[in-house]
């Protein structure tokens, strides 16, 4: 089944408000001619969301956030809730990125709670899964990503699952310049799709599974040519308009 490819830039802790405005202003006109054939989003840090929202207004470029808290409000110093993100113009929320898991104590259980909060605010979660190098070398890749996917999505039924995007990001490929081969990516994506089918039947065929981990202009098209690779979650290469747009164009090939 044909799924519209979805490319999202994860800016991580980069870009001030002024820099975000500048990058979005460069990207927005480049996205217009895509005519909806690829869905494109950027996820700036919280402080730059409002500036980015204003700069992309009227363009097909969409706004994402990099994390969220599962409660709507309360005594959670430093946290930001899904309704707050919605009001800031956000549409997509990255949940369970491996940096959150490794550096900030994110677990499958907190991912599950965050996904629920994102959906409750009518936002769209991008749920990240991925194995470490040690796990891959121990032959545990499919076991690990399967556990993360089932854990993060547990309790969700078919209609809610349709709003989810999954991102497969092998930890060893993130920021290292070492990309998974397209065959390695396809193997994992196919396994993730099989799990999604168990969870929601034929609805799984319309769920996008992005690949992430050192996606660059020169490998993006090959990765996204795989049958179950439905787009990309791009870190470093999303910080430069030219590189990011070349990756987006790679989704058209």
Taking CB under 6 A as the rule, does residue 233 contact ligand PGA? yes
Which phi-psi region, left, alpha or beta, contains residue 199 (left: φ > 0; alpha: ψ -120 to 50)?
alpha
Instruction: Show the CA angle centred on residue 247, arms to residues 245 and 248, nearest 5°.
Output: 60
**What is the closest distance, in whole angstroms, from the C-beta atom of residue 233 to ligand PGA in the complex?**
4
> Given the complex with ligand PGA, which of 73 and 176 has the nearer CB atom?
176
Q: Is 135 exposed, middle or buried (0-12, 13-18, 19+ CB in 10 A)?
A: middle
> Given the complex with ligand PGA, which of 64 and 116 has the nearer CB atom?
64
Residue 69 appears among annotated catalytic residues: no
Interface residue with ligand PGA among 76, 122, 137, 175 (CB under 6 A) is 175
**What is the closest distance, in whole angstroms, from the C-beta atom of residue 98 to ligand PGA in the complex?**
7
> Given the complex with ligand PGA, which of 40 and 199 has the nearer CB atom?
40
The closest residue (CB) to ligand PGA is 235
Which phi-psi region, left, alpha or beta, contains residue 89 (left: φ > 0; alpha: ψ -120 to 50)?
left
Interface residue with ligand PGA among 42, 149, 164, 174 (CB under 6 A) is 174
Half-sphere exposure of 228 (CA within 13 A, CB side): 19
Q: Which residue is catalytic, options 62, 69, 92, 97?
A: 97
Interface residue with ligand PGA among 21, 236, 243, 244 (CB under 6 A) is 236
Helices (H), the chain: 17-31, 49-56, 82-87, 98-104, 108-120, 133-137, 141-153, 158-161, 182-200, 220-224, 241-250
Let me know: does 144 contact 135? Beta carbons within 8 Å.
yes
**What is the closest distance, in whole angstroms, from the C-beta atom of residue 215 to ligand PGA in the complex?**
5
Taking CB under 6 A as the rule, does residue 169 contact ligand PGA? yes
> Given the complex with ligand PGA, which of 31 and 247 has the nearer CB atom?
247
Taking CB under 6 A as the rule, does residue 235 contact ligand PGA? yes
Taking CB under 6 A as the rule, does residue 234 contact ligand PGA? yes
Let me know: does 141 contact 135? Beta carbons within 8 Å.
yes
Instruction: Show the CA angle centred on residue 49, arms to residues 47 and 55, nearest 5°.
Output: 125
Residue 97 appears among annotated catalytic residues: yes
Interacting residues with ligand PGA (CB under 6 A): 10, 169, 174-175, 212-215, 233-237
């Amino acid at each position: 089944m044909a799924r519209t490819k979805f490319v999202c830039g994860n800016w991580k802790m980069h870009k001030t408000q002024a820099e975000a405005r500048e990058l979005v202003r460069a990207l927005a006109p480049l996205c217009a001619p895509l005519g909806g054939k690829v869905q494109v989003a950027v996820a700036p840090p919280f402080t730059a969301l409002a500036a980015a929202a204003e700069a992309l207004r009227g363009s097909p470029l969409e706004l994402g956030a990099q994390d969220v808290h599962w409660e709507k409000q309360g005594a959670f110093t430093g946290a930001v809730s899904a309704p707050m993100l919605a009001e800031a113009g956000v549409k997509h929320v990255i949940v369970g990125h491996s940096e959150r898991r490794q550096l900030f104590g994110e677990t499958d259980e907190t991912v599950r709670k965050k996904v629920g909060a994102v959906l409750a605010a009518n936002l769209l979660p991008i749920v990240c899964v991925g194995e470490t190098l040690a796990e891959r070398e121990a032959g545990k890749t499919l076991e690990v990503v399967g556990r993360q996917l089932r854990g993060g999505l547990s309790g969700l039924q078919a209609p809610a699952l349709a709003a989810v995007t999954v991102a497969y990001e092998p930890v060893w490929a993130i920021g290292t310049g070492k990309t998974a081969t397209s065959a390695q990516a396809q193997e994992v994506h196919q396994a993730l799709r099989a799990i999604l089918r168990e969870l929601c039947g034929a609805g799984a065929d319309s769920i996008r599974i992005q690949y992430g981990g050192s996606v660059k202009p020169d490998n993006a098209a090959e990765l996204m040519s795989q049958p179950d690779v439905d787009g990309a979650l791009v870190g470093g290469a999303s910080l430069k308009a030219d590189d990011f747009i070349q990756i987006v164009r790679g989704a058209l090939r």
